[in-house]
């Protein structure tokens, strides 16, 4: 796994600033730069700040750099807990969200799939979120999302988050947090 460059960190922080998301020094120092073990951080990754995650609810602020994609996954039921339900609200930029319900037809979607792993993107029902728009993803629903050409900032409000148990379509994904 490669170390996250200072330039990469700067670009992530700039998008939070463009969205007028005010973060504390501690939050800025602890941004999670997740590349999912794919060593393809410019194309497949997610950058996030977790405000709170407890047994009742979770709130996060996520950044995707231009055309960056969060790989397809779902939130399974866990012992005595229903899988995570989450609402994505676009704060800045454009988010292309894909959920299961229609078969993915690469020639009919608005984005370009990450070429190295395009076979692991199957959910094809497309939603385009602009600032102020939101969509709620039900538990156990395969989904993935990609930023538009300028990047995107997304607020996530959800039931408790157990990201380490997410099930990814790509068997090569490892749920790790990049260097800070």
49: domain CATH number? 2.60.120.10
pLDDT digits (tens, 9 = 90+) for 78-109: 998 999 999 999 999 999 999 999 999 999 99
User: Six-digit token pair at 166?
Assistant: 């997410």
Q: What is the pLDDT of residue 175?
A: 77
pLDDT bin (cut points 50, 70, 90) of residue 176 is low
| 3 alpha carbon, distance to own chain's centre | 20
Q: Is the pLDDT of residue 61 over 50?
A: yes
> Is residue 59 in a domain?
yes
**Residue 31, token pair as written in the block:** 């941004």
Could you tell me if residue 176 is inside a domain? no
Residue 16 lies in a domain: yes
Q: Tell me whether residue 122 is in a domain.
A: yes
Give the Cβ contact number of residue 124 at 10 Å. 17
3-class DSSP assignment, residue 117:
helix
Confidence of residue 2 (pLDDT cuts 50, 70, 90): low
Is the pLDDT score of 178 beyond 80?
A: no
Quick one: average pLDDT of 142-150? 98
Q: Would the pTM of this model clear 0.85, i.e. be above it?
A: yes
Contact call for residues 103 and 155 (beta carbons, < 8 A): no
Per the structure, the complete domain to which residue 159 belongs is given by: 6-168
Q: For tokens 């977790």, what's the residue?
A: 50
- Which residues face 53 on adjacent strands? 58
What pLDDT digit, counting tens, does each position of 3-37 carry?
799 999 999 999 999 999 999 999 999 999 999 99
Please tell me the total count of domains within the chain.
1
pLDDT (mean) for 157-167: 95
H-assigned helices in 5-76: 6-18, 25-29
Q: Is residue 158 part of a domain?
A: yes
Residues 50-64 have a mean pLDDT of 97
pLDDT band at 53 (very low <50, low <70, confident <90, very high): very high
Task: In whole angstroms, give the CA distance from residue 57 to residue 71.
Answer: 23
Max CA distance (Å), the chain: 43
């Amino acid at each position: 796994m490669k170390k996250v460059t200072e330039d990469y960190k700067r670009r992530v922080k700039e998008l939070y600033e463009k969205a007028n998301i005010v973060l504390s020094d501690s939050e800025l120092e602890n941004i999670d730069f997740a590349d999912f073990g794919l060593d393809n951080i410019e194309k497949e990754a997610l950058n996030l700040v977790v405000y709170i995650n407890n047994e009742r609810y979770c709130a996060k602020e996520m950044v995707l750099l231009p055309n960056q994609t969060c790989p397809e996954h779902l939130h399974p039921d866990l012992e005595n807990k229903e899988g995570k339900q989450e609402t994505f609200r676009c704060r800045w930029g454009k988010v292309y969200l894909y959920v299961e319900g229609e078969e993915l037809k690469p020639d009919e979607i608005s984005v370009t799939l990450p070429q190295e792993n395009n076979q692991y993107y199957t959910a094809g029902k497309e939603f385009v979120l602009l600032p102020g728009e939101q969509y709620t993803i039900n538990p156990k629903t395969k989904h993935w999302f990609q930023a538009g050409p300028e990047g995107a900032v997304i607020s996530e409000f959800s039931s408790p988050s157990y990201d380490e148990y997410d099930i990814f379509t790509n068997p090569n994904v490892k749920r790790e947090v990049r260097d800070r």
